[in-house]
Amino acid sequence: MTEFKIPELGENVATGDVTRVLVNVGDTIARDQPVVELETDKATIEVPSSVAGVVKEIKVKRGDKVKVGAVVLTVDAPSGEGAAGSSAAPSESAPEPPAAEASASAPPSASAPPPAPAPTPAPTPAPAAAPTPSAVGPTRVVPMPVRSAPEAAVQPAAPVKLEGARGPAAAASPAVRRLAREIGVDVNAVQGTGAGGRITQEDVKEHARRILSSVGSAGAAGGAVVARAMRPLPDFQKWGEVERQPWSNIRRATAEHLTYAWTTIPHVTQCDKADVGALEELRKQFKERVAKAGGNLTITAMLVRVLATAVKKFPQFNASIDGERGEIVFKKYVNVGVAVDTERGLLVPVIRDADTKNIMEIAVELQRLAERAREKKLSLEEMSGGGITISNLGGIGGTYFTPIVNWPEVAILGVSRGTTEPVWKDGHWEPRQMLPLSLSYDHRVIDGADAMRFLRWVVEAIEQPFLLSLVG
């Protein structure tokens, strides 16, 4: 008999909710066959089996919350298969020893040494996954220092992992990583004092103490924010009937991520309108050709190409701030995220290398990603690595809005519903279809004048589509 356990699901992903069990007792399964569907903080994923054989027992059911290392099912493996399956599992899905669990939950004042590792060679740490719109830390706010600003900034407790950063992941055990997540410390920023530079629990606690002691007067402000965040709600049942529903993992992660972005980034939003008449005529002219290729030629798909060209002209819009090092990270690649509204909440799949793709290729890929998002099939990789984001609410309505920058990015373009308006042109009024645009940006990186130049460039590219071919 061979057990299949939940493998590592990604950086900072420790648990998931079982949404579907894809096999039954008595089924014969193959290696790499999906056996269970989990909803994590970042996505809904199908977990493939690392073992093969006949399913003898299923230990989870829909609605269960499972941790990495939990046993999902047992199989009666054919000769040779069980060994192959179990040999692939130790470094990926072995549950942590109970001692690690106990030490991870110890209070910050504890000084006991970390638990002894399992008697196997320490695996080479895998590179950290690119961040996605989520946060795993507790719902509280911890003041963090920013070297590049004269005053300390108050930031929520979420491990800070800036996109575009390079270098090996920190050498730390799962228990140490869990402790870092719980107290809001970026484990990759901790200096290890253990053997070979490994990070211990005491290293994490000492790093947190240094952060808290360095913020000075900002601590009082941070305490006020914590107090507001933890303030209990009134008893609403005094005034009538209520219903309580738990947040889904994705909805909670979205809330924490946006709270972090709003608290950390000094937002400014600038607005403008673009005459979308010429672009709309091209869309209608070529939409059938794109449909035959498997795509949907939307304004959003065309705007992805516009933004991909714009950020090459204005590289500060494709950057991230490394506050700890006091640096700005400029990305040489161009990936554009597109916010997708789903029944589970907001998801942001990413069009990679958008500057190298034509509009038809972008439309086909965007259609595929949007369908995968609504079918709960988006992978973590498909939502990672964005450099700038588009949020199009025009299909619902509205004029302007203030989109929140999708940290660690520094800009997001909001699109509202186009309307027909009178426009003074060539000495007379003409009815023109005008598209409202809202550009939110991080004022630490982008000045207002540069933001307006960027937005005007986008408007001109929309109004004169040939500009993309002329300068792109």
Confirm if 280 and 433 have CB atoms less than 8 A apart: yes
The CA distances from residue 60 to 229, 232, 467, in Å, are 35, 34, 56
Find, among 36, 250, 261, 245, the residue nearest to 136 by Cα: 250
User: Distance between CA 458 and CA 307 in Å, rounded?
Assistant: 7
Q: Taking the mean position of all CA atoms in its chain, how far away is CA 350?
A: 10
| Pair of tokens at residue 343 | 């029944």
User: Distance between CA 295 and CA 277 in Å, rounded?
Assistant: 21
Confirm if 353 and 344 have CB atoms less than 8 A apart: no
| Phi/psi at 342 (5° precision) | -125, 170
- The amino acid sitting at 126 is A
In the set 207, 267, 428, 443, the catalytic residue is: 443
- The amino acid sitting at 9 is L
The CA distances from residue 285 to 105, 288, 298, in Å, are 61, 8, 12
User: Distance between CA 347 and CA 338 in Å, rounded?
Assistant: 8
- Residue 443 falls in the annotated catalytic set: yes
- Measured from the Cβ of residue 86, the count of other Cβ atoms closer than 10 Å reads 17
* β-bridge mates for residue 434, sequence order: 275, 419
CB within 8 Å of 48: residues ≥ 6 apart: 31, 32, 33, 34, 35
CB half-sphere exposure, 151, CA atoms < 13 A: 9
Coil, helix or strand at residue 345: strand
Which residue is listed with tokens 């399992």?
Answer: 118
User: Distance between CA 31 and CA 24 in Å, rounded?
Assistant: 16
Query: Catalytic residue positions?
Result: 443
